[in-house]
């Protein structure tokens, strides 16, 4: 065989984005903190980290923009149900809220502005769904695996959201339904509901906003209601130009407004957590509200709850009952049992032909999806540690998972006030933990078994008197066995006090005894 003459390779400009074949394997970048999620929690974490002088962090977001809840929930009528001047960051007041209860696009735009104003863009990584968080004991750090690469981190902040993963019931025949199906938090804006026969499944916080928004446009609306909701009047209105001007020119006026909104809600807490009998008065207001809008006694009967108000989240709407009483709406006082072709069969056996089904059936809450991706000391899965119910110390840290800090962790939800208050309290705790670790020369911390057990015993003791336990309902706050692992059974001020400082007596400390990358057992530092 004739020897092949070797031609010189064509000169090709190297593609800067293409990894070179002869390049050394990329080192996994290490950061001080990896934050999962870019909703209120993740962005708030970014702001507070920077303010604490910690700039070595990434915010990993699976979607392609910030906003969390307020990016994903774009259904017609979506708005907050805590007044905007309280449902926003204390460190980023917005004098320009357009309404008392602002709509989703305004809240989303606010969060985009927060990302810009506080210099968070360089920290954000989009498309970076975290697929695994694994504690590397030998290095005293987390390995964070995402769809766009891996990081290692001293600490991880989980801000993956309490209501981020839609829950659609596994109904017989759903796959064979020939029409359109979507969940409230994944609204298909390309599908026009005008004139269609539409079913809404569920009567919770999202459905109560969707139903009045779509009822005038659809041909017919069938609402599947397993349990009726208590609905109170919604004191919504436009914020006037004078108010906006005042809050812009005189910031203390905005602070005063926020403080008043805060105080009103703090005063209500006692009725929810200690004296549910006081809620009977509120129940009368809700009943009158329904009676004013619904004339038909049979429909009223279907819409009257048989449990104490507050046991499930109290909904606010002036348009929900009129929409249910409209001639093109039918309320089926029963859950959806199965689908047969385009026929929806309710649990009461009634059948309903529809073109589209909208599920307002909520989220995976007590079975928090991120827990299935977290592996702590000894490779233990967080989902396994939580198999009998979610549990943390001060809603933030979990034994066996050092330096993992939750925002809106177990038992930090609220029934009546702004979740941003809870997020900000947990951010105080996070920053205090990180600065404390620095100041004492430790690398990581995890709660002692005793501290975590004690915290939860006391918390569940307080829970036993609350309306969520005694009110006679089954809500999404409860685990299968009825334990409430979602809500905080006290005031937001009490939570703020409980998370102001880290109490080192509640923690075991770990110290990295070798440089990063060297395999050595962490040393337990006695406190
Ligand atoms: C329709 C609706 C209305 C609401 N209204 C109110 C209200 O009026 N008042 C109130 O107090 N609360 C309200 N809430 C609760 C609301 O969820 C919280 O107030 C708050 O927005 C939660 O912020 P978050 O950052 O913790 O979570 P989210 O806003 O849910 O953000 C979580 C982020 O994490 C990302 N993420 C999740 N998993 C991963 C992963 N594995 N890898 C990477 N990224 C991930 C998600 O994409 C998302 O961007 C409402 C919730 C809903 C659904």
CA 67–ligand 1 middle distance (angstroms): 8
Nearest residue to 202 (alpha-carbon basis) of 176, 179, 182, 232? 182
pLDDT value at residue 338: 98
* Contacts of residue 138, Cβ cutoff 8 Å, sequence gap at least 6: 519, 520, 521, 522
Nearest to 376 by CA among 352, 357, 404, 349: 404
pLDDT of 513 reads 76
Would you give the distance in Å from CA 476 to the centre of its chain? 13
> DSSP assignment, residue 226?
S
Q: What is the full per-residue pLDDT of the chain (527 aa) written as tens digits?
A: 333 433 333 333 334 443 343 444 468 999 999 999 999 999 999 999 999 999 999 999 999 999 999 999 999 999 999 999 999 999 999 999 999 999 999 999 999 999 999 999 999 999 999 999 999 999 999 999 999 999 999 999 999 999 999 999 999 999 999 999 999 999 999 999 999 999 999 999 999 999 999 999 999 999 999 999 999 999 999 999 999 999 999 999 999 999 999 999 999 999 999 999 999 999 999 999 999 999 999 999 999 999 999 999 999 999 999 999 999 999 999 999 999 999 999 999 999 999 999 999 999 999 999 999 999 999 999 999 999 999 999 999 999 999 999 999 999 999 889 999 999 999 999 999 999 999 999 999 999 999 999 999 999 999 999 999 999 999 999 999 999 999 999 999 999 999 999 999 999 999 987 666 543 333 333 32
Instruction: Give residue 295 CA to ligand 1 midpoint distance, Å.
Output: 37
Q: Which residues pair with 315 in a beta bridge?
A: 231
* 144 closest CA partner among 19, 240, 37: 37
Residue 245's pLDDT is 98
Whose C-alpha lies nearest to ligand 1, atom 16? 69
The angle formed by the CA atoms of residues 118, 123 and 129, to the nearest 5 degrees, is 125
State the pLDDT at residue 21: 39
User: What is the spatial distance between Cα 290 and Cα 376, in angstroms, rounded to a whole number?
Assistant: 50
Q: What is the per-residue pLDDT for 1? A: 35
Please give the pLDDT value at position 515: 63
**pLDDT for position 517:** 55
Among 160, 404, 477, 487, the mutation site with the greatest number of ligand 1 atoms within 8 A of its Cβ is 160
Measure the CA–CA gap between 489 and 15, rounded to whole angstroms: 57
DSSP run (H or E) holding 297: helix 297-303
Q: Which atom of ligand 1 is nearest the CA belonging to 44?
A: 25
* The pLDDT of residue 27: 83
CB 502 within 8 A of CB 436: yes
Q: Which domains does the chain have, with CATH numbers?
A: 30-165+365-525 (3.50.50.60), 174-235+259-359 (3.50.50.60)
Full DSSP string of 305-341: -SS-TTSSPPEE-SSHHHHHTSTTEEEESS-EEEEET
Nearest CA to ligand 1 atom 26: 161
Ligand 1 atom at shortest distance from the alpha carbon of 373: 41
Tokens of 469: 């336990």
Any residues with Cβ below 6 Å from ligand 1, and which?
A: 36-42, 60-63, 68-69, 73, 78, 80-82, 87, 129-130, 159-164, 206, 370, 407-408, 418-419
Report the alpha-carbon distance of residue 83 to residue 99 in Å, rounded.
Answer: 8
Quick one: which of 72, 98, 74 has its CA closest to 84?
98
Identify whether the C-beta of residue 293 lies closer than 8 Å to the C-beta of residue 321. yes
Rounded to whole angstroms, the Cα distance separating 305 from 227 reads 7
Q: Which residues pair with 525 in a beta bridge?
A: 509
Best CA proximity match to 223, nearest among 138, 314, 377, 336: 336
Q: Specify burial of residue 493 (Cβ count, 10 A radius: 0-12, 13-18, 19+).
A: middle
**Ligand 1 centroid, distance to 159 Cα (angstroms):** 8
Q: If you ran DSSP here, which 8-state letter would residue 137 be given?
A: T
Q: In angstroms, what is the span from residue 416 Cα to ligand 1's centroid?
A: 17
Return d(Cα 482, Cα 469) in angstroms, integer.
8
């Amino acid at each position: 065989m004739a020897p092949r003459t070797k031609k010189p390779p064509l000169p090709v400009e190297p593609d800067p984005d293409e990894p070179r074949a002869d390049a050394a394997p990329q080192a996994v970048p290490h950061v001080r903190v990896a934050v999962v999620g870019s909703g209120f929690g993740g962005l708030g974490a970014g702001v507070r980290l920077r303010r604490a002088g910690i700039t070595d962090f990434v915010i990993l977001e699976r979607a392609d923009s910030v906003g969390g809840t307020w990016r994903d929930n774009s259904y017609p009528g979506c708005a907050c149900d805590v007044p905007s001047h309280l449902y926003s960051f204390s460190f980023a007041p917005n004098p320009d809220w357009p309404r008392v209860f602002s709509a989703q696009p305004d809240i989303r735009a606010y969060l985009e502005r927060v990302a810009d104003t506080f210099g968070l863009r360089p920290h954000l990584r989009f498309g970076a769904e975290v697929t695994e968080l694994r504690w590397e004991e030998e290095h005293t750090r987390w390995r964070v695996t995402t769809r766009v690469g891996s990081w290692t981190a001293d600490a991880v902040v989980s801000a993956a959201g309490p209501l981020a993963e839609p829950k659609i019931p596994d109904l017989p025949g759903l796959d064979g339904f020939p029409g359109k199906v979507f969940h409230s938090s994944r609204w298909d804006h390309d599908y026009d509901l005008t004139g269609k026969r539409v079913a809404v499944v569920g009567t919770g916080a999202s459905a109560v906003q969707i139903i009045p928004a779509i009822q005038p446009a659809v041909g017919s609306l069938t609402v599947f209601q397993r349990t009726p909701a208590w609905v109170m009047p919604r004191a919504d209105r436009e914020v006037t130009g004078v108010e906006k001007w005042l809050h812009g020119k005189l910031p203390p006026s905005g602070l005063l407004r926020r403080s008043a909104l805060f105080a009103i809600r703090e005063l209500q807490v006692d009725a929810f957590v200690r004296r549910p009998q006081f809620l009977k008065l509120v129940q009368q207001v809700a009943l009158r509200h329904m009676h004013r809008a619904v004339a038909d006694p049979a429909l009223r009967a279907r819409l009257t709850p048989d449990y104490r108000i507050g046991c499930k989240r109290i909904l606010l709407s002036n348009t929900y009952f009129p929409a249910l009483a409209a001639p093109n709406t039918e309320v089926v006082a029963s859950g959806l049992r199965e689908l047969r072709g385009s026929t929806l069969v309710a649990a009461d056996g009634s059948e309903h032909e529809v073109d589209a089904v909208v599920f307002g059936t909520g989220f995976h809450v007590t079975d928090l999806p991120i827990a299935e991706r977290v592996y702590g000391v000894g490779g233990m899965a967080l989902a396994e540690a939580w198999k009998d119910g979610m549990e943390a110390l001060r809603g933030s840290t979990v034994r066996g998972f050092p330096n993992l800090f939750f925002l809106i962790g177990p038992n930090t939800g609220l029934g009546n006030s702004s979740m941003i208050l809870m997020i900000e309290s947990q951010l105080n705790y996070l920053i205090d933990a990180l600065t404390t670790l620095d100041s004492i020369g430790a690398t990581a911390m995890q709660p002692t078994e005793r501290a975590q057990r004690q915290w939860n015993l006391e918390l569940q003791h307080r829970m036993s008197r609350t309306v969520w336990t005694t009110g006679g309902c089954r809500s999404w706050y409860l685990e299968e066995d009825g334990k409430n692992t979602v809500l905080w059974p006290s005031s937001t001020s009490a939570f703020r006090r409980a998370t102001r400082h880290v109490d080192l007596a509640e923690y075991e400390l770990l110290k990295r005894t070798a440089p990063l990358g060297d395999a050595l057992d962490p040393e337990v530092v006695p406190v």
